[in-house]
Amino acid sequence: MLLGVDIGGTKIATGLVNRSAEVFSVRSFPTLANEGYSVSIEQVWRAIKQSLAPEVEAIGICAPGPLNPKTGIVLNPPNLPGWRNVPLEKMAREKFGLPVRLENDCNAAGLAEARFGAAKGCNSVFYAAIGTGIGSGIILDGKIYHGKNGAAAEGGHVSIDYRSETICRCGSRGCIEALASGHVLERIGAYDLNEISMQLGAWLGSVVSLLDPDIIVIGGGVAQIGEPLFEKLRAIVPTRTVNPHARELPIVPAKFGAEAGIVGAAAVVMTA
Ligand SMILES: [Zn+2]
């Protein structure tokens, strides 16, 4: 049995996960992120301590980026004020005496889909979480693609319009996250589905040209729009890529919803 821990800006979700990705005893603890590092790190330890069971063999933790999964260090996530270069993996290993792995939350969710979810059996997977922001995970040959510094797969910050007047929170212009995420949808107060579909379609078309994945899996709040969105994406993406196989490319909703991070974190430690 593995313990999956999903650290978010608002809550820390935990669950026991077996090797078939079944989840038991899901619990939630407030992160208290705004009270600063010393309070929120104690919340993480409290969450793990209260969720551990004697049969737990290892702990998988996922957290919002930026973090370096290769070194197990949380860098400086905007959602966790005061956290700066925190060696979370090492700290947790020493505190609980169990193997621990740390992973970016979208990478972890992508791995969960590839191993147990909507992309089960697929070798190369592009996973996108479209919610208040847009995150992504790239699974190549069954493994998370990390890049040199563990900073790969920031798909939300791929720009689709260099002239855009929309400045992203990363400082660049026309990032897909700044144009088509749930946060923007809330601000404009309406779903202009055609515009959003065209933007997401152009973005995913570029992804297909670049990666030629077996499947695209979409999770997060915006994906809850469901079939009307997916139908449009399946129609638009082949018109926005040079890849001649794009018409056969499955573009499907994620299997895991709120538990994506817990299962993903466990999947990471399962493959370690
Ligand atoms: Zn950006």
Question: By the 8 A CB rule, do 7 and 31 touch?
Answer: yes
Write down the architecture of domain 120-253 according to CATH: 2-Layer Sandwich (3.30)
Rounded Cα distance between 121 and 142, Å, is 9
Pairing of strands 215-219, 143-144: unpaired
User: Distances in Å between the alpha carbon of 50 and those of 12, 16, 26, 27, 46?
Assistant: 12, 12, 11, 9, 6
Active-site residue identified among 105, 141, 192, 212: 105
- Helix (H), strand (E) at residue 137: strand 134-140
Ligand 1 ion: residues within 5 Å (CB)? 157, 168, 170, 172, 175
Written as six digits, the tokens of 91 are 């700290």
Q: List the Cα angle 74/78/82 in 5-degree steps.
A: 65
Distance 95 CA to ligand 1 centre (A): 36
Distance 138 CA to ligand 1 centre (A): 18
Q: Where are the alpha helices (DSSP H) in 137-259?
A: 176-180, 182-188, 193-211, 227-236
Q: What is the pLDDT at residue 103?
A: 97
Q: Quick check: do 2-107+259-271 and 120-253 share a fold?
A: yes
User: Distances in Å between the alpha carbon of 232 and those of 195, 196, 225, 238, 251?
Assistant: 11, 10, 11, 11, 10
Written as six digits, the tokens of 253 are 């909703």
Considering the domain 2-107+259-271 in this protein, what is its CATH number? 3.30.420.40
Which residue is associated with the tokens 């018109």?
A: 239
Rounded Cα distance between 254 and 243, Å, is 23
The amino acid at 24: F
- Residue 105 bears catalytic tag: yes
Ranges in the chain, pLDDT < 50: none
Nearest-CA neighbor of 261 among 99, 122, 135, 126? 135
Rounded Cα distance between 5 and 43, Å, is 12
Distance 24 CA to ligand 1 centre (A): 36
Rounded Cα distance between 263 and 20, Å, is 10
Domain boundaries, the chain: 2-107+259-271, 120-253
Per-residue burial over 115-125, b if 16 or more Cβ lie within 10 Å, else e, is bbbbbeebebb
Distance 237 CA to ligand 1 centre (A): 21
Helix (H, G, I), strand (E, B) or coil at 168: coil
Q: What is the pLDDT at residue 226?
A: 86
Per residue in 87-113, pLDDT (tens digit) is 999 999 999 999 999 999 999 999 999
Rounded Cα distance between 46 and 48, Å, is 6
Q: What is the pLDDT at residue 156?
A: 95
The contacts of residue 195 (CB under 8 Å, 6+ apart) are none
Output the pTM of the full model: 0.94
